[in-house]
Amino acid sequence: VQLQASGGGLVHFGGSLRLSCAPSGSFFSVVTMGWYRQAPGKQRELVGTITIGGTTNYADSVKGRFTISRDNSKNTVYLQMASLKPEDTAVYYCNAGVRLGRWADISDYWGQGTQVTVSS
């Protein structure tokens, strides 16, 4: 299973961007999907997650500005980012908890990362 993320780029302070991520390969279901980010010199941190049922969880730093959604028919997760700040600058990584078979355990997969840069 591979995760392909897209949508990063350069945006000005206060601007918006939308990231998307979808898995490819053979699997039974995608249980959870989410986004993490890593700024230079910092540890990777949670941005937010969404379950197959649509329950979301966000880091306090992005609540009210970022929205995670998913299209289960396409197994695609989206991260709509608004009111972006320079401190949101980071490489954003897509994450998915995937069942490879009906009775298989959930396996963790990561995308390659997409750069988001917010200029002041």
Paired strand residues for 106: 99
Q: State percent of the chain over pLDDT 70.
A: 100
Residue 55 buriedness (CB in 10 A; 0-12 / 13-18 / 19+): exposed
Check: CB of residue 21 under 8 Å from CB of residue 33. yes
Band (pLDDT 50/70/90 cuts) for residue 102 is very high
Q: What DSSP designation does 25 have?
A: S
Tell me which long-range contacts 63-72 makes (C-beta under 8 A, separation of at least 24): 68/33, 68/34, 68/35, 70/33, 72/30
Confidence of residue 35 (pLDDT cuts 50, 70, 90): very high
Give the pair of three-digit tokens for residue 119: 């200029």
**Gap between the Cα atoms of 67 and 55, Å rounded:** 12
Percentage with pLDDT > 90 across the chain: 99
H and E: helices and strands count for the chain? 0, 11
Q: Tens of pLDDT along 51-95?
A: 999 999 999 999 999 999 999 999 999 999 999 999 999 999 999
Q: How many CB atoms lie within 10 A of CB 76?
A: 17
Rounded Cα gap, residues 119 and 75, in angstroms: 32
